[in-house]
Amino acid sequence: MRKVLIPTKLDKAAADKLVNAGYDVVLDGVTPLDEQVKANPDTEVLIVRSEKVTPEVIDQLPKLKLIVRAGAGFNTIDIKYARKRDIDVMNTPGANSNAVAEEVVAMILASCRHLIPADISARSGKWEKSKFMGRELTGKTVGILGLGHIGQLLVARLRGFDVKVLGFDPVLSPALADKLGVELTTVERIFSDSDFVSLHIPENDETRGMINRRLLESMKPGATLINCARCGILNEEDLRAVKAEKKIVYCNDVYPKDVEGPKSVADVADIMLPHLGANTHEANFTAACRAAEQTIAYFEQGINNCVVNKALPDGLDAKFQQLAYVLTKLTAAYLGKENNPTRIETSFYGDLAKYAKWMTPAIVAGINPDFALENGPKDAAQYLNDSGVELNNREVDNNKNYGEAMTIDLFVGGNLIYKAGARGTITENRLMISRLNDFDELYLEPTGNHLFVEYKDEPGVIGKIAGILGEKNINIVDIRAPQDPKSGLSLTVVKTGVVVPDILVQKIREAVNASKAFQFSL
């Protein structure tokens, strides 16, 4: 009989389903996790919510085979260490999404109508009706950053308010956006044009501190910002500096740690809740049922489509997956954030052809930071399908003698299709990019910080770029400068010791009249 440990306040529906299926279940939402782990060393399945599953926890469970996160986010679980121990980690995507979407609507309405302070006032015997003059949601513009499960459900919940919805998502296709009734646009426009901005993006190296002073200063006076995603994506100091001047209304439900004690955001949050996003009976019940059902299906039917840390197949070097990720990410950066791909075409040469499907998760992660690289091929294919993005793996001519190399092309648009692509390989055990779009013989090792500048070929441009960097004491480590004779364009790629600030990238763009200029770091 397999033992399942559920050391969290999860609906008993999970335990009931598992017990009925013949599992030995321990459900305890009170005792600390470390104590339960020590008391149950024979645990084979661990089902958690927000508890931290560290290497120390994993090492105390020698029989552990599966960890299930009853929810979508799994950042509290060390999935890489679990993989080293040959332990699969699952999540239950979408189980909590509706609860979070409804919470966003509730926070918007509560802030618009001053429900919380008005309640406190009325209970104290006051009658301050004029003080709490509100505003209506109907007819306003709502901007949504991130149109995954939660973002799409939020769009649906807002339809009854007759609002205009602006959206940003790095992978959602224009066709699906039209179907949802969302106008895809840039992050900058969402902040400048929206009356309400709701955040639904992950926290990672690319998004941490993304909501900064520049974006906040562009907001309409009196606009509302709602963060039910992750606290780290917002720069609190920048909000603190801008809030009074712009009269920004801030609604918050996320913190560095879900624990008692003072919260740093208290002085700038108009509404702050104790991370209640997924805290509904329905969401808890749904997550519990899915966690149990997925556990049973995993052991009895071998169904593992929700495993987020799948291992690679035998014979495939993990570096090739990393290469697919880098090529896709670089191509997406070349196209620009405003251009979401509608079609992806790939070419895998040599023995890589038989591993084509295993590259799909890396490709999806390259265009969408919300998608974990550890996801499996089925999850990646389903993600692309749900996003309306077509994936085509082309037949290749191995007579070109590319060896074990790959090309990844991203196509954008409907009738007016344009594309960009990159080719690369592994040489001397290092990633090597041999081509970016029509710039051949690039031979770039994509490590560290790189500034890419594309411009009409003419003398002196590289010197101007180097001069501007030198003025700011930015050290140049390496320079690549391939040309495209057909278009008359040149591409200068400068490897720098530090990340080049956006304001300096823009200065370089203007100084050399560049058609493209962007920073790319790994």
Higher pLDDT, 307 or 110: 110
pLDDT grade for 173, boundaries at 50, 70 and 90: confident
Taking Cα atoms as reference points, which of 92, 496, 440 lies closest to residue 298?
92
Average pLDDT on 40-44 reads: 97
SS (H, E, C) 249-267: EEEECCCCCCCCCCCHHHH
Residue-level pLDDT at 431: 95
The percent helix, strand, coil of the chain (3-state, each to 5) is: 40, 20, 40
Better pLDDT: 272 or 378: 272
**Assigned architecture for domain 3-94+281-301:** 3-Layer(aba) Sandwich (3.40)
CA-wise closest residue to 70 among 22, 8, 18: 8
List, by residue range, all CATH 3.30.70.260 domains of the chain.
318-521
Q: How confident is the model at residue 461 (pLDDT cuts 50, 70, 90)?
A: very high
User: pTM here?
Assistant: 0.75
Tokens at residue 461, please? Answer: 């441009």
- Interhelix angle for 281-301 vs 97-112, to 10°? 160
**Residue 311: what pLDDT?**
72
pLDDT of residue 402: 76
Question: What pLDDT was estimated at residue 308?
Answer: 85
Average pLDDT (291-320) is 88
Residues of the chain with CATH 3.40.50.720: 3-94+281-301, 97-272
Q: What value does the mean pLDDT take over residues 10-37?
A: 96
Q: Name the band, by pLDDT with cuts 50, 70 and 90, for residue 379.
A: confident
Does 84 score more than 70 pLDDT? yes
Contacts of 58 (CB under 8 A, 6+ apart): 64, 78, 81, 82, 85, 87
What kind of fold does domain 97-272 have according to CATH? Rossmann fold (3.40.50)
pLDDT averaged over every residue in the chain? 93
- 454 pLDDT higher than 90: yes
Q: Label each residue of 201-217 as H, E or C.
A: CCCCCCCCCCECHHHHH
Q: Is the pLDDT of residue 498 over 70?
A: yes
Q: Which residues contact 327 (CB under 8 A, 6 or more apart)?
A: 366, 406, 407, 408, 422, 423, 424, 433
How high is the pLDDT of residue 415? Answer: 60
b/e per residue 66-104 (b: at least 16 CB within 10 A): bbbbbbbbbeebbbebbbeeebbbbbbbbbbbbbbbbbb
Asked whether residue 293 carries a pLDDT value surpassing 70, the answer given is yes
Q: Is the pLDDT of residue 417 over 90?
A: no
Q: What percent of the chain has pLDDT over 70?
A: 99
Residue 418 has pLDDT above 80, yes or no: no
Section 168-186 average pLDDT: 91
Residue 450 contacts residue 496 (beta carbons within 8 Å): yes
Task: Strands of 37-163 (E only): list them.
Answer: 45-48, 66-69, 88-91, 141-145
Rounded mean pLDDT of 308-330? Answer: 88
Question: At 131, which amino acid appears?
Answer: K
Q: What is the mean pLDDT of residues 248-273?
A: 94
**CA 290 to CA 293: how far, in whole Å?**
5
**Distance in angstroms (rounded) separating the CA atoms of residues 451 and 453:** 7
pLDDT at 240: 97
CATH number, span 318-521 = 3.30.70.260
- Strand-strand pairing, 343-348 and 405-412: antiparallel
172, 146, 140, 145: which is closest to 158 by C-alpha?
140
How confident is the model at residue 414, as a pLDDT? 64
195: pLDDT strictly greater than 90 = yes
* Lowest-confidence segment of 136-145, 284-293, 301-310, 316-325 by average pLDDT: 301-310
Residues 111-128: pLDDT tens digits? 999 999 999 999 999 999
The arithmetic mean of pLDDT across residues 500-514, rounded, is 95
